[in-house]
A and B are shown apart, each in its own frame.
Chain A
Amino acid sequence: MRLGVDVGGTFTDVVLETAAGAGRGPAGADGLVSAKVLTTAAAPEQGVLEGVEEVAARAGVAVADVSSVIHGTTLATNALIQRRGAFTAFVTTAGFRDVIETRTESRFEQYDLDIVLPPPIVERRHRYTVAERIGAQGQVLVPFDSDGARALALELARRGYESVAVGFMHSYRNPDHERRFRDILAEAAGAVAVSISSEVSPQMRELERFTTVCANAYVQPAMAAYLHRLADELRARGMAGPVHVIHSGGGLMSLESAARFPVRLVESGPAGGAIFAADVAARHGLDRVLSYDMGGTTAKICLIEDGAPRTARTFEAARTSRFKKGSGMTVSIPVIDMIEIGAGGGSIAAVDRLGRIRVGPDSAGAEPGPACYGRGGAMPTVTDADLALGRLSPETFGAAGIDLAPDAAAQAIDAAVGEALSLDPGAAAVGISEVVDENMANAARVHAVENGKDLSGFTMVAFGGAAPVHAVRLAQKLGIDEVLVPPGAGVGSAIGFLRAPFSYEAVRSHYMALDRFDPGEVNAILADLVTEAASFVAEGIAAGAAGGGPDPDSDPGAAPEPRIERWVYMRYAGQGWEIPVEVDAASFDAQGRELLAVEFTKAYESLFGRAIEGLAIEAVSWSVRASLPRATGARVERADGSAPAPVAGRRRMFDTAAMAAAAGSVVERSSVGVGGQVAGPAAIVEPQTTTVLSSAHTAVMQPDGCLLIRRRP
């Protein structure tokens, strides 16, 4: 019996996976029991334990019966955003003290004369240098100054730093000097935490690598302490199994690895959501899925093809200015590639100087929340518009158990939007809703273009409190004809954790022009990466063996062999953007050059429509991903609509197919049996969200509890 735990900034979600039999006690059709409790920021394990005890009690089991815990969290991200981390020093190559401060030397907002750039995570006064220099080919240009390093180590100890980040130039190519400094520091300062960039993120480009190692050092002491406390507390309650942690790339790693490299966790919550969607996709046999997660503050969109979310090598964390690209810190870690925009249920609507309705990125958050919460919020939000459009039932909204106030919503909409544009509240609400849907559609289109994809033919999987409300309209805008709304939409990330495979991606930069391809060198790099990635997976499996591991069906006696994928990041010489190319070869010989060139050309064509003949090709980074197969539920036999679902009521709601108000049905989701059919316009209500159908759409309940929504031909 396994437990998924997602610790977010506001809520902690806990999901217990009981025996897969449906309909047992409080568990839903999928055999899951979930709880949502407030996050206890000072000691997050307390909230987790509260949630664990709640689900255990409701399922009628003891905490000791839990075989393993799979944990993801935004705590590392929040520490970066709120700048609540360890007292950290950064040690770098002489001459490069300010890399993390001068960043890209550009302004993320082109027209703002009063712009404030994000402050560096380690201030200048806490940045130190050592005389040493490695060259681009890994050669030593300036020998490591051991005496200077020793003196510096003593000074760092004397100043009482809790954590030290070390990042030297070209250390991805030759880590020797970084390791020597680490050893000297261990001698001089004993217990101080040390992160070195050649271990945390051995990728070329000093800004990203240095930022990543600083971020790791900054959050490491607190994250390590928290993870260990959590494990201890669970053990004290009799749980013998392991705690695994979800990393940003969407796989599991051991708690020990997470405690050393917590920067790998920055996107673990959203990664859980993407795995959740991937799992739904696999159950339904879908190979092209758009994962759409919309909560209170942001919407996240991710492409999932052939069952796996796309991954990227860098991620911009902790944006300081309205989710604006460039206002955060770019960390180079393997991460599920998703686009996040400031569009959520709490996003605030206003009218700008040009008489345009703008929605987000500012959010009313949970407090005071939307105007209709009646907690003092005066600004109209997306949720207020949804209420005004008849999409939400005032009396059954959300897990928070709030009665919504339609009058307050209408008033706020009128004051901030209606009056300025001379629109009645209904039309203003339509405007707010259309603008936020269009913002999300634009983000999805741009993300698809970036990845060389066309979204028509994709199926959308919608989850998160606000996504099912907007999914059908968004799908209309994107030309998507099929939408799945899985059960458990409010705790999707935590459920996703339960579906995550053991996996680890190891990346290293090593520049090589293909016309100087050296099979021996490449094989050595790839072999190292395979060893590294496989050992993380093996460590996770070993830790999991005691408690059964994440796959309940696996035979604990047989050590499963991880699947190994090899990726090379290549570009035409002269370009600045590398594209990932998967290569299906365990080792290379002299023909490897041809193979890479052919695979690169294919990948380039599929991304950009055409290849360019006659240009030299170069490889920049190498990556190996080791993973165990994901445990997916049985393939769902799709149910056709057989009988209309019972209608609980009727009310006026806005119909996005006719772009006019219409009489719509209100249906309780729990009352819809397999094959039960709901024709739009309709609102299908459940405690954590509402699924809204247009008059052109019909939903049919599937055997796995998903609502399958299709556009009527």
Chain B
Amino acid sequence: MIAAPAGDLALQVMWNRLISVVEEQALSLVRTAFSTSVREAGDLSAGVFDAQGRMMAQAVTGTPGHVNTMAAAVDHFIDAIGTDHMHPGDVYLTNDPWKGTGHLHDITVVTPVFRADRLIGYFGSTAHVVDIGGRGFGPDAGEIYEEGLFIPIMKLVERGRLNRDLIALIRANVREPDQVVGDVHSLAACNDTGIERLADMLDELGLDTVEPIASFIFGRTSAATRAAIARVPPGTYRNTMSVDGYNETITLAVELEAGEGWIHADFAGTSPVSSHGINVPIAYSRAYMTYGLLCALAPGTPNNAASLAPFTVSAPAGCILNARPPAPVSVRHVIGHFVTDLCLGALAEVLADVVPAEGSGALWNFQAGARAVSGAGLGRDRPPAEVLMFNSGGTGARPRRDGLSATAFPSGVRTMSVEATEQVGPIVVWRKELRPDSGGDGAYRGGLGQVIELGPAEGYELHFSAMFDRVENPARGRRGGGDGAPGRVRMDDGSPFDAKGKQLVPAGRRLTFELPGGGGWGDPALRSPELARDDLAQGYVTGSGP
């Protein structure tokens, strides 16, 4: 009656174990990272690869932007270093935006795994570091050279010996050398954790290589992903979308071609690169396309080389979704995050019960430098402080539900506590609450944006770097649903404040942001009276218009 577990079962268990190993790897990074965006936004990734550089498992983190970019990265390392030059005790790294995850702030570290002196695979991890030199995190550079230190793929450690020259070079080029170098070591250490766990697992199984597990994972995943894609009838699907961009409206265009078990996105027709750092390397565009399609077609599929392979992209060189060096790319997420809604929108007809209306898309993150001013008995000698906040508008209404209010999509970031933020830097957030009437009308209402009002603490002024979109181009409703409310930025004294670029908030002044809402879904006349009554009772809708 009772049989030993078939080989498949053991491999399944090992697959689960591998996913757990990369989750552990990611967790240890989150705990030790200095970068706010790593720990608050989960802006990191961790993965394990076979000897051919194919990703077998990846931790689920807050950043779809690493979904595909991470998977492709190890190939670049193999090409650049060459397996003949890889040795036990080696660690490699890069922050090449075109070989990693799209901007210089992300450092990717890859560690080869040896078993009995044979190279059997790799662990890779990426984290967004606090600073990389240059002009700092923002769209203001005109070329990549101004955006900071560019580290081509190279050895961080060779046969156990740390490359001290590289460390010295990094230290000399960044604003927070201890933290950045600390994060580099954390990346290497989390890969080591993965290597130990993998060794335990192979010992337990009596295996010398990971290939049996790899082929099992890829076989199962490939079949399931291709079957999921079959929901989209073969054919061509198009969509275009307008977003604000830096100083002129940007058109994003996609033509999705669905075949037997694959979907290709071509971004021809998209606007050319911008003169500011909102340009997107194509690997990052691919990540947000893949993420959106996996959400719509195959949620729950673990990420690996086979789940990602069916999704490919192309774009004319020099369009904003395929920026080439030396285009600046520092805040590529501002445009890149719209790729998900762009691609989902192309499938709105064939996946009518799945695809939501457009949402606010790009986050309303900002960085503000607080500087002391004299007066009120306070000297100018108090140290400056940097404050970073992540904030989200509304998501698009879904075919069966309202959109989510003040919730990130496609990004997975979390907002930070206002109390904790005020402890870190001299700012006061006077208001942070839902923005009534900002969700697009519809049978299902778009998610609400939020209103944030803030200013410098007494004795300070704020040097504010704004990068807000959907002020000119609101999220569009779907199937008769209304558009979400556009965003707005204003100063309390009525003086103008641009949604883009560096500006000053003088001492004593307050700034108000109204974050955009998501688009509505379906004819507003079809909204159930019950939901409509609840909107009024809760004050999500005031009845007096925005």
Give A residues with C-beta under 8 Å from B. Answer: 94-99, 101-102, 104-107, 110-117, 123-125, 133, 135-136, 141, 169-170, 204-207, 352-357, 388-390, 421, 423-427, 429-431, 434-435, 438-439, 442, 445-446, 449-450, 479, 511, 572, 574-577, 607-610, 612-615, 652-654, 659-661
Q: Which of B1, B189, B298 has the most CB of A within 10 A?
A: B1
For chain B residues 380-438, which have a beta carbon within 8 Å of chain A?
Answer: 390-392, 398, 400-401, 404-409, 412-420, 422-423, 428-434
Contact of A608 among B32, B40, B540 (CB under 8 A): B32
Question: Given A352-B300, A652-B2, does the pair A204, B419 have CB atoms closer than 8 Å?
Answer: yes
B56 proximal to A (CB < 8 A): no
Q: Give bound CA distance, A124 to B6, whole Å.
A: 54
The residues of B that contact A356 with a CB separation of less than 8 Å are 12, 15, 220
Question: Given A107-B407, A357-B12, A446-B27, does the pair A574, B295 have CB atoms closer than 8 Å?
Answer: no
Q: Which residue of B lies closest to A439 (CB)?
A: B16
The residues of B that contact A123 with a CB separation of less than 8 Å are 538
Q: Give bound CA distance, A551 to B24, whole Å.
A: 42
B174 to chain A, nearest CB (A): 13
Contact, CB under 8 Å: A575 / B34:
yes
Question: Given A608-B28, A661-B2, does the pair A105, B418 have CB atoms closer than 8 Å?
Answer: no
B492 proximal to A (CB < 8 A): no
A350 to chain B, nearest CB (A): 12
Contact, CB under 8 Å: B419 / A117:
no
The residues of A that contact B415 with a CB separation of less than 8 Å are 102, 104-106
> Which one of B94-102, B177-185, B494-502 is at the interface?
B177-185
Give B residues with C-beta under 8 Å from A. Answer: 1-6, 8-10, 12-13, 15-17, 20, 23-24, 27-28, 30-34, 36, 39-40, 60, 62, 64, 130, 176, 178-179, 182, 185, 189, 193, 197, 200, 220-221, 223-224, 227-228, 294-296, 298-302, 354-356, 390-392, 398, 400-401, 404-409, 412-420, 422-423, 428-434, 450, 453, 457, 537-540
The residues of A that contact B296 with a CB separation of less than 8 Å are 113
Q: Which of A423, A442, A613 has the most CB of B within 10 A?
A: A442
Q: Which of A99, A572, A612 has the most CB of B within 10 A?
A: A612
Contact, CB under 8 Å: B413 / A105:
yes
Contact, CB under 8 Å: A431 / B9:
yes
Q: Give bound CA distance, A116 to B62, whole Å.
A: 18
Q: Which residue of A lies closest to B457 (CB)?
A: A135
Contact, CB under 8 Å: B5 / A427:
yes
The residues of A that contact B407 with a CB separation of less than 8 Å are 102, 105-107, 117
Contact, CB under 8 Å: A205 / B420:
yes
Contact, CB under 8 Å: A431 / B12:
yes
Question: Given A113-B356, A389-B2, A430-B3, does the pair A136, B423 have CB atoms closer than 8 Å?
Answer: yes
Please count the residue pairs between chain A and chain B whose beta carbons lie under 8 angstroms apart in the complex: 231
Q: Which residue of B lies closest to A115 (CB)?
A: B404
Question: Given A169-B419, A205-B420, does the pair A141, B428 have CB atoms closer than 8 Å?
Answer: yes
Q: Give bound CA distance, A170 to B540, whole Å.
A: 27
The residues of B that contact A389 with a CB separation of less than 8 Å are 2
Contact of A612 among B30, B178, B224, B406 (CB under 8 A): B178
Q: Which of B28, B176, B433, B539 has the most CB of A within 10 A?
A: B433
A249 to chain B, nearest CB (A): 23
The residues of A that contact B130 with a CB separation of less than 8 Å are 574
Contact, CB under 8 Å: B1 / A661:
yes
Q: Give bound CA distance, A169 to B420, whole Å.
A: 11
Contact of A104 among B15, B193, B414 (CB under 8 A): B414
Q: Which residue of A lies closest to B12 (CB)?
A: A356
The residues of B that contact A575 with a CB separation of less than 8 Å are 32-34, 39
Contact, CB under 8 Å: B401 / A114:
yes
B240 to chain A, nearest CB (A): 21
Q: Told that A97-B433, A105-B414, A442-B20 touch, could you supply 10 new A-B pairs with CB distance under 8 A?
A: A98-B434, A107-B409, A110-B60, A111-B295, A111-B299, A117-B407, A435-B16, A449-B27, A577-B39, A661-B3
Closest 10 CB pairs of A and B: A95-B431, A442-B20, A661-B2, A426-B2, A111-B299, A104-B414, A136-B422, A105-B415, A124-B538, A205-B417
Q: Which residue of A lies closest to B64 (CB)?
A: A110
Q: Which residue of A lies closest to B393 (CB)?
A: A105
Contact, CB under 8 Å: B419 / A170:
yes
Contact, CB under 8 Å: B3 / A427:
yes
Q: Which residue of B lies closest to A448 (CB)?
A: B24
Contact, CB under 8 Å: A105 / B2:
no
B488 to chain A, nearest CB (A): 17
The residues of B that contact A653 with a CB separation of less than 8 Å are 2
Q: Which residue of A lies closest to B197 (CB)?
A: A445
Question: Given A135-B457, A442-B16, does the pair A112, B299 have CB atoms closer than 8 Å?
Answer: yes
The residues of A that contact B398 with a CB separation of less than 8 Å are 113-114
Interchain residue pairs with CB less than 8 A apart (26)? A98-B450, A101-B405, A105-B415, A106-B62, A106-B415, A136-B422, A204-B420, A205-B417, A206-B418, A355-B224, A423-B6, A426-B2, A426-B3, A427-B2, A435-B12, A435-B16, A445-B20, A572-B34, A576-B420, A577-B39, A608-B31, A615-B178, A652-B2, A654-B2, A659-B5, A661-B1
Q: Give bound CA distance, A133 to B457, whole Å.
A: 13
Q: Give bound CA distance, A526 to B189, whole Å.
A: 36
Contact, CB under 8 Å: B31 / A113:
no
The residues of A that contact B537 with a CB separation of less than 8 Å are 125
The residues of A that contact B36 with a CB separation of less than 8 Å are 574, 576
Contact of A424 among B3, B10, B412 (CB under 8 A): B3
Question: Given A354-B220, A446-B27, does the pair A95, B432 have CB atoms closer than 8 Å?
Answer: yes
Q: Give bound CA distance, A101 to B392, whole Å.
A: 13
The residues of A that contact B23 with a CB separation of less than 8 Å are 446
Q: Which residue of A lies closest to B33 (CB)?
A: A575
Q: Give bound CA distance, A613 to B185, whole Å.
A: 13
Q: Which residue of A lies closest to B307 (CB)?
A: A354
B58 to chain A, nearest CB (A): 12
A507 to chain B, nearest CB (A): 15
Question: Given A106-B413, A113-B299, A114-B401, does the pair A353, B228 have CB atoms closer than 8 Å?
Answer: yes
A221 to chain B, nearest CB (A): 24
B346 to chain A, nearest CB (A): 15
Contact, CB under 8 Å: A107 / B412:
yes
A183 to chain B, nearest CB (A): 24
B287 to chain A, nearest CB (A): 13
The residues of A that contact B295 with a CB separation of less than 8 Å are 111-113
B195 to chain A, nearest CB (A): 14
Contact, CB under 8 Å: A95 / B417:
no
Q: Give bound CA distance, A107 to B538, whole Å.
A: 22
Q: Give bound CA distance, A434 to B428, whole Å.
A: 53
The residues of B that contact A115 with a CB separation of less than 8 Å are 404
Q: Which residue of B lies closest to A613 (CB)?
A: B178
B12 to chain A, nearest CB (A): 5
Q: Give bound CA distance, A115 to B15, whole Å.
A: 26
Q: Which residue of B lies closest to A95 (CB)?
A: B431
Q: Give bound CA distance, A434 to B302, whole Å.
A: 20
Contact, CB under 8 Å: A357 / B422:
no
Contact, CB under 8 Å: A105 / B419:
no
Question: Given A427-B5, A438-B13, does the pair A511, B423 have CB atoms closer than 8 Å?
Answer: yes
A432 to chain B, nearest CB (A): 10
Question: Given A106-B408, A110-B412, A427-B5, does the pair A609, B13 have CB atoms closer than 8 Å?
Answer: no
The residues of B that contact A98 with a CB separation of less than 8 Å are 406, 432-434, 450
Contact, CB under 8 Å: B24 / A449:
yes
Q: Which of A99, A107, A661 has the most CB of B within 10 A?
A: A107
Contact, CB under 8 Å: A117 / B31:
no
Q: Which of A94, A424, A576 has the most CB of B within 10 A?
A: A576
Contact, CB under 8 Å: B24 / A446:
yes
Q: Give bound CA distance, A423 to B1, whole Å.
A: 12
Contact of B5 among A106, A207, A434, A612 (CB under 8 A): A434
Q: Give bound CA distance, A169 to B391, whole Å.
A: 19
Contact of B428 among A135, A421, A660 (CB under 8 A): A135
Q: Give bound CA distance, A353 to B227, whole Å.
A: 9
Contact, CB under 8 Å: A609 / B419:
no
Contact, CB under 8 Å: B401 / A426:
no
Contact of A205 among B62, B390, B405, B419 (CB under 8 A): B419
